[in-house]
Amino acid sequence: MRVINWKGREITSTLRVPEDLPLIIRVDGWKFHNLAKKIDLLKPFDERMAKCMVRAAKETFDLGFPIVLAYTFSDEISFLIKPPLPFKGRVEKLVSVLPSMVASSFSTALRNMNMEANVGFDGRIVLVRREEIPEYLSWRQAEAWRNCINAYAQYALVSKGISPQMAAKRLKGMKSQELHELVFKELGVNLAKIPAWQRRGVLIYLEEYEKEGYDPISNRRILVKRRRVSVNWEPPLFSSEEGRSFISGILDTLLT
């Protein structure tokens, strides 16, 4: 009987990324359009869904991954991982363990809001240099804005009785300004004034702060640096000077 080398068939087990460099892992919800129907999410945005995504991202900071920040909108979360990377940079581990932790936390958050559903997330690795991190976040934030405009425009047509398929056809090729005008005409909504998290996403990050402590050697009170997970529902535009400065401040503190 031929003996098969099953271990040798684990062809991706040796695929690695440099463990001494920062890394972005982006996780995306799997078939979330079906999830939205099953739990009857509000259109065009449901704040409960956003809160579940934020909770899933925030809880992951405490589960062993050296996460510096996470940026989420819609059904995706981008995690910035600090070196040295877990699992010595093994790709199959990184893109399976982190999404599974997100799925678990997200499912719990749904249940806490009386919304029961089975969920799944996939994961992908994005190689990035330190100086490219603000640019990556700007790219995803621009996608969040496009997603926001399209979601409102789609809802504007569907709410008038047009099928989702026909709405998608009508919207195809329309420019941003045309979509703005459509939304204002049909819904009376100025997209520049909707909640910031819908337009810009949500940033979750480690923040340093000082807390008063006691030094038994000097027998006096001292200020001790601590870290906590902070959530910003109104992040700046990452492409702006303010946004780049904000992100650089986080990186200077936590990636050095």
Q: Per-residue pLDDT tens for 61-91?
A: 999 899 999 999 999 999 999 999 999 999 9
Mean pLDDT calculated for residue range 217-238? 87
Mean pLDDT calculated for residue range 168-193? 94
- Decide: 239 and 138 in contact? Cβ < 8 Å: yes
Which residues, at least 6 apart from 51, have a Cβ–Cβ distance to it below 8 Å?
A: 109, 113
With b meaning 16 or more CB within 10 Å and e meaning fewer, what string describes 50-60? bbbbbbbbbbb
Whether the predicted pLDDT of 215 surpasses 80: no
pLDDT digits (tens, 9 = 90+) for 128-157: 999 999 999 999 999 999 999 999 999 999
Mean pLDDT, the chain, whole residue set: 92
Residue 225 phi, psi (nearest 5): -80, 135
Which structure tokens are listed for 178?
Answer: 């045309």
Which structure tokens are listed for 28?
Answer: 């995306």
List the one residue out of 7, 43, 248, 222 whose CA is nearest residue 130: 248
In this predicted structure, what is the pLDDT of residue 4? 86
Whether the predicted pLDDT of 125 surpasses 80: yes
Q: Which residue has the higher pLDDT, 105 or 225?
A: 105
